[in-house]
Amino acid sequence: MGDVKHTIRIASTRSGLSAHVIRVWEKRYVGIQPDRTQTNRRLYSEEDIEKLRLLKQATDLGCRIAHIAHLDIPALVDLLAKVRRDQPDATNGNGIQLVSDLPDTWSAENAVTQLMRHTRDLDQEGFHRSLSEATVRLGHQGMLCDVVAPLTRLIGQSWEKGQMTIPQEHAASAALKSFLFSTIKPFGNASAAPKILIATPSDQLHEIGAVMVTAMAASLGWKTYFIGSSVPAHEIAAAAKQKSVHAIALSLVYPHGDPQVVKDLEDLRASLPEGFPVLVGGQAQGSYAKALKSIRAIRCQTLPDLQQSLRTLQSSLSA
């Protein structure tokens, strides 16, 4: 089919698969291994794209990707023909089981339950495996909204009630941070992308909410700068100025109603240009409602709220 090579954007458009799903399949299965440029960018041949297209068709018809990723193009064509003929054999004559033939009890709720079990068992490998499956099934933003967000709420509630040990909470936070940052890299950051700085203010030590914001913003095409937890207001403002960002996002999780956080919020607003966007989310934001209103912050009570706010800002910046 020739030696022409294509970017992942073209491969995604022509195969019908999202770029993130293509990357996940490459990581988990050996079926597609594209060439790389000297800067490590993927390059897909016509054969690669054709195989991706056939894999999508097969999974849409009920085949499990884990069972078919190794097949070559002729085998996939043959499999699709047999599946489309609705062959009664449960393995479609090729040893390939269909989703419709097997019980599938997966759901976002069950995934959260499984992740809580991995948390209590200190099973980081299982934790990563469950998050990877959620990403394949729901997409990156769906994984964040429907699995990671409720999971972090449950972990936080268990920790505050003394139902989770410090090692369990720390291990879960470390595993989540590691996984989410690993998903940020593939999205890339175009030079023309809007830029956002993410942090938690002074005395806000729980950074996983800020990591979630970073992952969501990156998936929407923002160039992200995550600078960590418990960062004083003047340092946040200085970093924002240094990187010429278009917005700042803060996560407020714990503690609630801290006077130092209120002061930091006021100091931050005083250090920024008039009207500069400051987005604030997190479980503790309600206890800072008055301060957030006074600094004209954009409150994001849920991850979908954050998605919408980021998209609105993107539109205003590109107008």
* Predicted pLDDT at 86: 55
Q: Lowest-pLDDT range, 204-208, 247-251, 290-294?
A: 204-208
pTM of the model: 0.67
Domain regions of the chain by residue span: 8-98, 108-181, 191-318
Mean pLDDT of 111-130: 93
Residues ≥6 apart with Cβ < 8 Å to 38: none
* Predicted pLDDT at 3: 63
CATH superfamily of 191-318: Cobalamin-binding domain (3.40.50.280)
Q: Quote the mean pLDDT of the chain.
A: 85
Interval 81-109: pLDDT, tens: 877 775 444 444 444 544 444 445 678 88
* Predicted pLDDT at 2: 46
Residue 208 has pLDDT above 80, yes or no: yes
Interval 249-293: pLDDT, tens: 999 988 888 899 999 999 999 999 999 999 999 989 999 999 999
* Predicted pLDDT at 248: 97
More confident call, 107 vs 229: 229
More confident call, 168 vs 318: 168
Q: Lowest-pLDDT range, 91-100, 130-139, 142-151, 279-288?
A: 91-100
Highest mean pLDDT of the ranges 38-42, 87-91, 157-161, 258-262: 258-262
More confident call, 240 vs 67: 240
- Indicate if 108-181 has the same CATH topology as 8-98: no
| Percentage of residues in the chain having pLDDT higher than 70 | 89
Range 8-98: architecture per CATH: Orthogonal Bundle (1.10)
* Predicted pLDDT at 165: 93
Mean pLDDT of 45-72: 85
* Predicted pLDDT at 186: 46
pLDDT band at 164 (very low <50, low <70, confident <90, very high): very high
Only one residue has tokens 């809007």, namely: 194
* Predicted pLDDT at 151: 95
Q: Mind giving me the DSSP string for the chain?
A: --S--B-HHHHHHHH---HHHHHHHHHH-SS---EE-TT--EEB-HHHHHHHHHHHHHHHTTB-HHHHTT--HHHHHHHHHHHHTT-SSTTTTTTPPBGGGS-----HHHHHHHHHHHHHTT-HHHHHHHHHHHHHHHHHHHHIIIIIHHHHHHHHHHHHTT-S-HHHHHHHHHHHHHHHHHHHGGG---TTS-EEEEE-BTT----HHHHHHHHHHHHTT-EEEE--SSB-HHHHHHHHHHHT-SEEEEE--SSSS-HHHHHHHHHHHHHS-TT--EEEESTTGGGGHHHHHHTT-EEESSHHHHHHHHHHHHHHHH-
CATH superfamily of 108-181: Methionine synthase domain (1.10.1240.10)
* Predicted pLDDT at 68: 84
Mean pLDDT of 11-22: 86
